[in-house]
Amino acid sequence: MAPKKRKAESDSSNAGEQHIYKSIEHAAHSVKVAKKSILMERELKLRGGEFPNFLRELRRRKREKIGQYVAPSNIMIVRE
C-alpha cells in the first residue's frame, strides 16, 4: 500500500519562520493577517447623483474606509 498523505500542520510551517519576526506576537499577528483576503483597488465611475446612495450602502455594510481617500503622508517616511 502507498503511504497516506498527512495534513500539513500550521505550527510546523510557522516555526521555521519565527527568526524573521521580532517577537512571538509579531509572528502570531502575521498568521492572522495571512488568513485575511485582500481586496484589490478598483477605479469606480459613478453617474450623477449616485454618490450618496453609494456611501449609504458602504455605511450599511460597515465598509466606510473603502470609500475614503488615503491621508497624505510624508514621502521621506514612506521611503524608509
* Position 80 pLDDT exceeds 50: no
For residue 45, is pLDDT > 60?
Answer: yes
Q: State how far the Cα of 51 lies from the Cα of 58, in Å rounded to an integer.
A: 11
Q: How far apart are CA 69 and CA 80, in angstroms?
A: 22
The answer to which of 25-29, 42-46, 70-74 has the lowest mean pLDDT is 70-74
Average pLDDT rounded to a whole number, residues 46-59: 86
Greater confidence (70 vs 33) lies with 33
What is the chain's mean pLDDT, rounded?
A: 72
Contact 60, 43 (CB under 8 A): no
pTM of the prediction?
Answer: 0.34
Distance between CA 67 and CA 55 in Å, rounded?
7
Task: Tell me the pLDDT band of 47, cut-offs 50, 70 and 90.
Answer: confident
